[in-house]
């Protein structure tokens, strides 16, 4: 079968393309913006990429067109497809029909941490030699791709609440029919498709309704929005978790992560108050500890022994674009992070602050998501970056409101810039060795990560007697 994917460089659709290729289909695809790491992964898999939506790409017609949820009426390929009655479906529906029917699906949902938690969970099953299949909205370091069919009944999927397609407004995750469901957290997001938090909660309850009675639902105790979802009805065993120092842990939680180090790099795992083992890893931040604990509990649900799971977490390699150290030049460290919501920005910066202490932290932020563009988080943005020593806000094209109010309300020194060239020059002139630059965006950000790393190397290599210690994973 020839499968052609519209919107192929999206994190979900790109991973779907990898699965379709592995299943033996001929896979091609198109996107308006083709950029790493997804474009690189697709090219390595031998998948033909087309930039833009010229309808000529649909002649001759593929056997099936898989339409990404970024596609809308008016798109030239969409209009051509509809006018000629070509066969089409959504990504989640195609996945459900062609792969998930016979699988034990472990789904990871929530406003934050889906990609990281799903990657951790897939890794724990892999570490236990269970050969899981998976679809993850990112590129993990412990695997060479973001998706694979796997060699066992177990399939881990990042379960997004975003809508399925322009012709199917249900959340993606209702198509997956999970047997093990992680509910990581829940806040208002995706203001372009949801009117309010209750609308999102309704979708979350739709997926809770279809988890079988012999499955498992896993969630933290400190999420009132999720509590309200469960109060609408739950027909599946519910397991609760808690993270914190000894005096912060919720005694009602069956599973607990007790912090040994404030930065989250070391913690104890307890089950009903009994110590199970200690995790020492390279991840930082309480949010990372929460993600790890959720993955550990879910892995146990399908047979991974807890001591082995703890050992697996200690060997977890992280994921691209999740506080990924991409360069270190003359003592200046540059990180790439996907944060695109005030809470994600806050937890990311809290994590690195706990790790580096008083060393300088510089935040570089592009508010790029659809909800950000609509200004729905604007009141919380200034405070979200308070753990940084200084913040560089980027006003991207298409942002319909000015970030100046965020600058004015900032509790730390902040600047507003509309040019990434000027931003790089500013960072180069004002960032000293020993600093940590955290770049946050859910898009390509005009390649600022690579460009800044290159500029730093050129700058320090040109200074007499200056040692340049460069490393990049991009």
Give percent helix, percent strand, percent coil of the chain, each to the nearest 5. Answer: 35, 25, 40
- Measured between alpha carbons, how far is 466 from 474 in angstroms, rounded to an integer? 24
89 to 58, 74, 159, 394: CA distances (angstroms): 15, 17, 18, 37
Predicted pLDDT at 205? 96
DSSP string covering 14-74, please?
Answer: HHHHHHHHHTT-EEEEEES---TTHHHHHHHTT-EEEES--GGGGSSPPSEEEEPTT--TT
pLDDT mean over 111-126: 92
pLDDT tens-place string over residues 150-201 = 999 999 999 988 889 999 999 899 999 999 999 998 987 755 677 788 999 9
Q: How many residues can be counted in the chain?
A: 474
- Measured between alpha carbons, how far is 414 from 418 in angstroms, rounded to an integer? 14
Predicted pLDDT at 472? 39
150 to 66, 100, 109: CA distances (angstroms): 22, 12, 21
Reported for 258-263, long-range contacts at CB under 8 A and 24+ positions apart, including other chains, are: 259/286, 259/289, 262/354, 263/351, 263/354, 263/355
What sign does the CA torsion over 293, 299, 300, 305 have?
A: negative
Predicted pLDDT at 291? 94
pLDDT tens-place string over residues 23-78 = 999 999 999 987 776 788 788 888 999 999 999 999 999 999 999 999 999 999 99
pLDDT tens-place string over residues 355-373 = 888 899 999 988 876 666 6
Average pLDDT, the chain: 88
Predicted pLDDT at 136? 87
By the 8 A CB rule, do 396 and 368 touch?
A: yes
Peptide bond into 269 cis (omega under 30): no
CATH class of 324-461: alpha beta
Predicted pLDDT at 473? 37
Bridge-based pairing of strands 266-271 and 255-259 is antiparallel
Predicted pLDDT at 373? 61
Predicted pLDDT at 190? 59
Write down the CATH number for the domain with range 2-90: 3.40.50.720
CATH class of 99-314: alpha beta
pLDDT tens-place string over residues 274-318 = 999 999 998 888 889 999 999 999 999 999 999 999 999 998 876
Predicted pLDDT at 289? 94
Predicted pLDDT at 371? 62
Q: Is the pLDDT of residue 391 over 60?
A: yes
Q: Is the pLDDT of residue 474 over 70?
A: no
Predicted pLDDT at 207? 95
Indicate the pLDDT class of residue 468, thresholds 50, 70 and 90. very low
- Measured between alpha carbons, how far is 21 from 417 in angstroms, rounded to an integer? 42
Q: Is 319 helix (H, G, I), strand (E, B) or coil?
A: strand
Q: Is 187 helix (H, G, I), strand (E, B) or coil?
A: coil
Closest CA to 216 of 131, 102, 298: 298
43 to 23, 68, 148, 210, 395: CA distances (angstroms): 17, 19, 16, 36, 31
Using alpha carbons only, how large is the chain's radius of gyration in Å? 22
pLDDT mean over 74-91: 98
* Paired residues of 182 in beta bridges: 108, 218
- Measured between alpha carbons, how far is 374 from 371 in angstroms, rounded to an integer? 5
Residue 385 token pair: 């970056």
Bridge-based pairing of strands 332-337 and 324-329 is antiparallel
Contacts of 356 (CB under 8 A, 6+ apart): 436
Predicted pLDDT at 376? 66
Residue 73 token pair: 């009426």
Q: What are the boundaries of each domain within the chain?
A: 2-90, 99-314, 324-461
What are the φ/ψ torsions at residue 21 (nearest 5 degrees)? -65, -45
Closest CA to 241 of 229, 253, 231: 253
Predicted pLDDT at 166? 95
Q: Is the pLDDT of residue 433 over 80?
A: yes
By the 8 A CB rule, do 226 and 185 touch?
A: yes
pLDDT tens-place string over residues 213-246 = 999 999 999 899 999 999 999 999 999 999 999 9
258 vs 35, which has greater pLDDT?
A: 258
By the 8 A CB rule, do 82 and 278 touch?
A: no
Predicted pLDDT at 253? 96
Q: Is the pLDDT of residue 109 over 90?
A: yes
Q: For residue 306, count CB atoms less than 10 angstroms from its CB and return exposed for 0-12, middle for 13-18, buried for 19 or more.
A: middle
What are the φ/ψ torsions at residue 340 (nearest 5 degrees)? -140, 25
Q: Is the pLDDT of residue 269 over 70?
A: yes
């Amino acid at each position: 079968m020839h499968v052609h994917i519209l919107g192929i460089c999206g994190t979900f659709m790109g991973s779907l393309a990898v699965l379709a290729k592995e299943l033996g289909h001929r896979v091609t695809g198109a996107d308006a913006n083709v950029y790493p790491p997804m474009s690189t992964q697709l090219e390595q898999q031998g998948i033909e990429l087309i930039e833009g939506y010229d309808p000529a790409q649909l002649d001759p017609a593929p056997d099936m067109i898989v339409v990404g949820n970024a596609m809308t009426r008016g798109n030239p390929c969409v209009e051509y497809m509809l006018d000629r009655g070509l066969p089409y479906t959504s990504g989640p529906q195609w996945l459900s029909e062609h792969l998930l029917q016979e699988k034990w699906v472990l789904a990871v949902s929530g406003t934050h941490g889906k990609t990281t938690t799903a990657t951790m969970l897939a890794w724990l099953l892999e570490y236990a030699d269970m050969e899981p299949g998976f679809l993850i909205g990112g590129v993990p370091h412990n695997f060479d791709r973001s998706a694979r069919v796997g060699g066992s009944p177990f399939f881990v999927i990042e379960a997004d609440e975003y809508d399925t397609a322009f012709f199917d407004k249900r959340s993606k995750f209702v198509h997956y029919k999970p047997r093990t469901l992680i509910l990581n957290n829940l806040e208002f997001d995706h203001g372009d498709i949801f009117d309010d938090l209750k609308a999102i909660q309704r979708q979350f309850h739709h997926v809770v309704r279809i988890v079988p009675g012999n499955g498992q639902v896993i969630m933290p105790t400190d999420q009132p929005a999720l509590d309200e979802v469960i109060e609408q009805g739950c027909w599946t065993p519910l397991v609760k978790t808690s993270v914190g120092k000894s005096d912060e842990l919720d005694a009602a939680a069956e599973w607990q992560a007790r912090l040994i180090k404030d930065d989250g790099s070391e913690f104890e795992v307890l089950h009903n108050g009994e110590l199970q083992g200690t995790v020492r890893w390279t991840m930082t931040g309480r949010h990372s500890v929460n993600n790890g604990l959720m993955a550990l509990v879910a892995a146990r649900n399908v047979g991974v022994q807890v001591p082995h799971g703890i050992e697996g977490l200690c060997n977890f390699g992280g994921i691209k674009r999740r506080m990924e150290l991409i360069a270190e030049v003359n003592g200046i460290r540059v990180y790439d992070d996907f944060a695109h919501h005030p809470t994600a920005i806050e937890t990311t910066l809290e994590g690195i602050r706990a790790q580096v202490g008083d060393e300088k932290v510089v935040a570089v932020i592009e508010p790029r998501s659809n909800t950000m563009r609509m200004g729905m988080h604007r009141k919380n943005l200034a405070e979200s970056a308070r753990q940084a020593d200084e913040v560089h806000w980027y006003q991207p094209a298409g942002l319909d409101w000015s970030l100046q109010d965020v600058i004015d309300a900032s509790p730390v020194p902040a600047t507003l810039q509309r040019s990434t060239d000027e931003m790089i020059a500013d960072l180069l002139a004002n960032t000293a060795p020993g600093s940590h630059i955290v770049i946050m965006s859910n898009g390509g950000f005009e390649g600022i990560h690579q460009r800044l790393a290159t500029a730093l190397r050129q700058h320090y290599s040109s200074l007499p007697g200056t040692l340049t210690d460069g490393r990049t994973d991009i």
